[in-house]
Structure 1
Amino acid sequence: MDRPALDAIDEKIIAELTRNARLSHAELGQRVLLSRNAVRQRIDRLERQGHIRGYTLVRGGHEDEDIASALVLVYREDRLRGGEVLAALKRIPEVVICDVLSGEFDLMVRIEARSLERVQGIWEQIAQMPGVRDTVTALTLARVVSRPRG
C-alpha cells in the first residue's frame, strides 16, 4: 500500500519527534508553527498512514547509524545582509549545525536526516533560497570520530 507523500510540516514534525519523542503537542506546535490541536491531528494521521509506527526508548551510547548526513558549504549573495538565509536555515529541524565562516565560503551547514532523499530535499531547499548564490555539498560516508562535548 502506497503511503501519501509528506509535506514540509509533516517532515518537520517527524524530525522533531525523532529528536525528542516526548515533546508535548503544544511545544511541537510552537516549533512547527501550528496549534496544539492541529499537531495532534497530523500525528494521528501520520500514525494511521504508517509514517509513524511507534515510539521507543533508545539507550544512549551508540550513534544512530541510519541517519544520513551531509555538509553544505554555502555562498551567499551578500555576506553583510544575508540574515534571511540564516533565519531560513534555523527553521529547518534537520540543520544541526550552521557556522558562519571566514574565507571562500560563507556558511557551513550540517544536515542530519532520516534518508538521503530528505538530505537531497533540504539541499534543494537551501540552493533555492533567496540570497544563496551557490552551494557545494559533501555526503558523509562514515563517522570516524564522534566525541561528546564537555
Structure 2
Amino acid sequence: MDNIDRGIIDLLRQNARAGYGDIGQVVGLSASAVKRRVDRLVADGVIRGFTVQVDPAIDGRRTEAYVELFCRGTVAPDELRQMMSHVPEVVEACTVSGSADAMVHIRARSIPALEDALERVRVAPNVDHTRSSIVLSRLIDRPID
C-alpha cells in the first residue's frame, strides 16, 4: 500500500459514495486506475466493506448505555461474542482490562427497550452481574477511521 492508496482510502472514509473520477482528480489518477486500486484494496482485505451510518437519533435509537459485564469464572472472548451477538441492541462489545470482563455499548429506542436488552445480557450464560451507565449527552462523537 502506497501514499496514493492511503489518499484513496482517506477520501472514501470522507465519502464512500465518491466517484472514481472525483477521487482520481484529487490523487492524480484516472477513474479506471482508481477503480483498479479500489478493487485491489477490497480483494486484499484492506477495505472490508462499504456501509451507511445512520444517525441513531433519526433511527430512533436515542437511548444508550455502557455496561460493564462481570462473568463467573473464565470466559473466552469468542464465548462473550457469541453471547452478545444474540442481543441486536448491542452495538459494540469488547474485552477490557480491570475488574470487568467486558464492556458493552447498547443502543435502544426507549428506557423500557434498554431495560429489556440489558436483561437479555444479564441472563446470558456465565454472566454474574453488570454495572450500567446511561448516556445523558454526547460531548464528543468523532467518526471512527
TM tier, shorter chain? 0.5 to 0.7
Instruction: Give the CA deviation at 1:78.
Output: 2.1
Which secondary structure state, in structure 2, belongs to the residue aligned with residue 102 of structure 1? coil
Question: CA-to-partner distance for each residue in 1:30-82, whole Å, 9 max, x for gaps?
Answer: xxxxxxxxxxxxxxxxxxxxxxxxxxxxxx79652751000110001123447
Runs of 5+ in structure 2 lacking a partner? 1-52
* Cα distance, 1:62–1:127 mapped onto 2, change above 3 Å: closer
- What is the CA-CA distance between 1:127 and the residue it aligns to? 1.2
- The normalised TM-score by structure 1 is 0.54
Q: 1:95 to 1:76 in 2, by over 3 A?
A: same
1:106 aligned to which of 93, 101, 106: 101
Q: How many residues align?
A: 92
2:114 and 2:88 map into 1 onto residues whose CA distance is 12
Q: Kindly provide the amino acid, as one letter, of the partner of residue 64 in structure 1.
A: A
Partner of 2:127: 132
Task: Give, as a single letter, the amino acid of the residue that structure 2 aligns with 1:98.
Answer: A
Aligned-residue identity in percent: 26
- Distance in 2, matches of 1:148 and 1:123, equals 26
Unmatched segments (≥5 aa) in structure 1: 1-59
Counterpart selection for 2:88 from 67, 89, 93: 93
Aligned in 2, Cα 1:128/1:62: closer, same or farther, shift over 3 Å? Answer: closer
- Could you give the per-residue CA deviations for residues 87-134 of structure 1, whole angstroms, max 9, x where no partner exists? 020122211110101111000000011111111001111111120011
Secondary structure at 2:84's aligned position in 1? helix
